[in-house]
């Protein structure tokens, strides 16, 4: 990033600055509308009516119902530093925005950098050619410099003395390539950013869909393998879509978190509009892939989407209900894998899964409570827990770990296993191995060294991988070896 080189003679030219996507990294309308609908979903019907009356009406109606602290918006420090330097040189600076007065004026007052504010009114949506005409009326054609970011700003760039671009979108970037324009902040939209927003690393959880195929001893069955792979991507697309929608609804809280503030949507690296398009495309892709699988799989997928959505909006704030829901969602992955290849699931597998993943869900909550910096006894933001609950959470999680091992031991001793495996005695080491994996992650969590989803942690931890590899070898030997 380089600061635009503006000659001394140009400093008498007013500097006009866009708000959405330029001064702040977000779209104030979309973010305000999402926040409003989260508080009162029934206002969706009113919002549709406002849209039919025009975007200016929509913006003003939404702004009238949102009480947002101006300091909480994600500002672009590069733009603010540039404006401060220009202010010191005596520039007349104007905030020229499509946002309504209730949003624009508090921001201008908070920053203290603007000499004038031009904004959307109840009659005029001050964007694109309407903003251009307003600035020409106010300063004359070529009588102002303009800082903007999007396709709506191209008309204003054309009428400006100098165009300065900030994280430009595709249309604005193409315009800049063929014109004499300065780029204050480069656009960071790329494949790596998209994959980060999708949280592709979380797809590791969906390897659980292959569990029924492995236990069926049919890994070399090409048809069944294709079905599982198709289900894997279908489930992964759905999960990524839900992650994105969840991030869109939790922007303010994420920006207050020391790690989550760096997520593409919370940081502003990915725009809200792009996030919504990406989430919708992923959800559509998930459904299309599901159409190639049995109807029972599609039903499980719908249950997963509904349960995850309920978790994101309501259940994650309910004491203990949240961890049981998480354990159930992991178990649903195994159920989906069975539905994809149309095999019945063992009661023992489901019982083991519930205890195993309940322990890991409790690890996740335990780590969050351990990270609380509030005084002991204070309530965690957005959750139903207190800091002093982490001892109880730890006890419950470790008990669940032993419960999982007990269920596995009973399963190994069952008649079902005696019939399925030639040497079932080789399966007994799996019990202490399960206890080792779970107790180890609990000990690491207690030391404050688990910073990711526990399931993702296990999938990426070489010791856990080694234990799982040994377990897989034991299962294969138990199924194929001949008794001595």
Three-class SS string for 349-368?
HHHHHHHHHHHHHHHHHHHH
Closest CA relative to residue 433, chosen from 473, 470, 481: 470
Which pLDDT band holds residue 216 (cuts at 50, 70, 90)? confident
> What is the chain's Cα-based Rg?
28
Closest CA relative to residue 84, chosen from 118, 117, 110, 111: 111
> In this structure, which CATH number among 1.10.600, 1.10.3470, 3.20.20, 1.10.4100 belongs to the domain 192-480?
1.10.600
Tokens representing 420 are: 């399925």
* Mean pLDDT score, 365-375: 69
Closest CA relative to residue 388, chosen from 400, 376, 375, 374: 376
In angstroms, the Cα distances linking 220 to 213, 217, 242, 362, 400 are 10, 8, 32, 36, 34
446 or 312: which leads in pLDDT: 446
* HSE (side-chain half, CA atoms, 13 Å) at 435: 12
CATH node for 8-187: 3.40.50.1000
> Would you state the pLDDT for residue 219?
74
Is residue 230 over pLDDT 80? yes
Q: Report yes or no: 283 and 234 within 8 Å, Cβ to Cβ.
A: no
In angstroms, the Cα distances linking 20 to 54, 115, 129, 150, 167 are 19, 19, 16, 9, 11
pTM for the predicted model, two decimal places = 0.79
Interval 381-420: pLDDT, tens: 446 777 777 788 889 999 999 999 999 998 888 887 777 7
The Cα 420–Cα 217 span in angstroms is 10
Indicate the domain borders of the chain: 8-187, 192-480
The Cα 141–Cα 368 span in angstroms is 56
């Amino acid at each position: 990033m380089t600061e635009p080189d503006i000659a001394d003679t140009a400093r008498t030219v007013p500097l006009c600055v866009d708000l959405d996507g330029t001064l702040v990294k977000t779209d104030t309308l979309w973010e305000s509308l999402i926040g409003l609908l989260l508080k009162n979903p029934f206002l969706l019907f009113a919002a549709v009516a406002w849209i039919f009356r025009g975007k200016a009406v929509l913006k003003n109606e939404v702004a009238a119902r949102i009480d947002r602290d101006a300091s909480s918006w994600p500002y672009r420090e590069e733009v603010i530093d540039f404006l401060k330097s220009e202010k010191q040189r005596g520039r007349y600076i104007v905030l020229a925005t499509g946002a309504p007065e209730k949003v624009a004026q508090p921001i201008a007052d908070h920053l203290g950098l603007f000499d004038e504010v031009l904004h959307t009114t109840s009659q005029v949506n001050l964007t694109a050619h309407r903003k251009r005409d307003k600035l020409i009326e106010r300063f004359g054609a070529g009588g102002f410099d303009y800082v903007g970011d999007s396709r709506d700003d191209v008309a204003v760039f054309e009428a400006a003395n100098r165009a300065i671009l900030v994280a430009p979108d595709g249309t604005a970037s193409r315009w800049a390539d063929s014109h004499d324009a300065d780029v204050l902040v480069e656009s960071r939209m790329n494949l790596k950013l998209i994959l980060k927003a999708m949280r592709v690393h979380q797809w590791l959880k969906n390897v659980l869909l292959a569990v029924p195929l492995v236990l069926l001893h049919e890994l070399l069955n090409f048809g069944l393998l294709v079905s599982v792979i198709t289900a894997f991507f279908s489930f992964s697309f759905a999960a990524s879509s839900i992650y994105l929608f969840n991030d869109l609804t939790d922007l303010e809280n994420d920006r207050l978190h020391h790690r989550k503030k760096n997520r593409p949507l919370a940081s502003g690296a990915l725009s809200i509009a792009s996030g919504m398009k990406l989430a919708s495309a992923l959800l559509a892709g998930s459904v299309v892939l599901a159409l190639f699988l049995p109807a029972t799989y599609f039903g499980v997928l719908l249950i997963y989407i509904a349960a995850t959505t309920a978790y994101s909006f309501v259940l994650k704030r309910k004491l203990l209900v949240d961890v049981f829901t998480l354990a159930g969602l992991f178990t649903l992955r195994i159920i989906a894998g069975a539905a994809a290849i149309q095999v019945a699931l063992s009661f023992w597998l489901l019982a083991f899964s519930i205890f195993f993943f309940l322990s890991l869900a409790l690890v996740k909550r335990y780590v969050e409570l351990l990270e609380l910096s509030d005084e002991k006894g204070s309530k965690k933001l957005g959750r139903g827990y207190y800091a002093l609950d982490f001892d109880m959470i730890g006890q419950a999680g470790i008990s669940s770990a032993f419960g999982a091992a007990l269920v596995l031991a009973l399963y190994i001793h069952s008649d079902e296993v005696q019939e399925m495996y030639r040497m079932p005695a080789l399966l007994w080491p799996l019990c202490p191995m399960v206890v080792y994996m779970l107790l180890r992650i609990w000990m690491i969590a207690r030391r404050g060294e688990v910073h990711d989803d526990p399931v993702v942690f296990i999938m990426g931890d070489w010791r856990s991988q080694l234990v799982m590899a040994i377990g897989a070898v034991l299962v294969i030997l138990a199924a194929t070896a001949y008794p001595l």
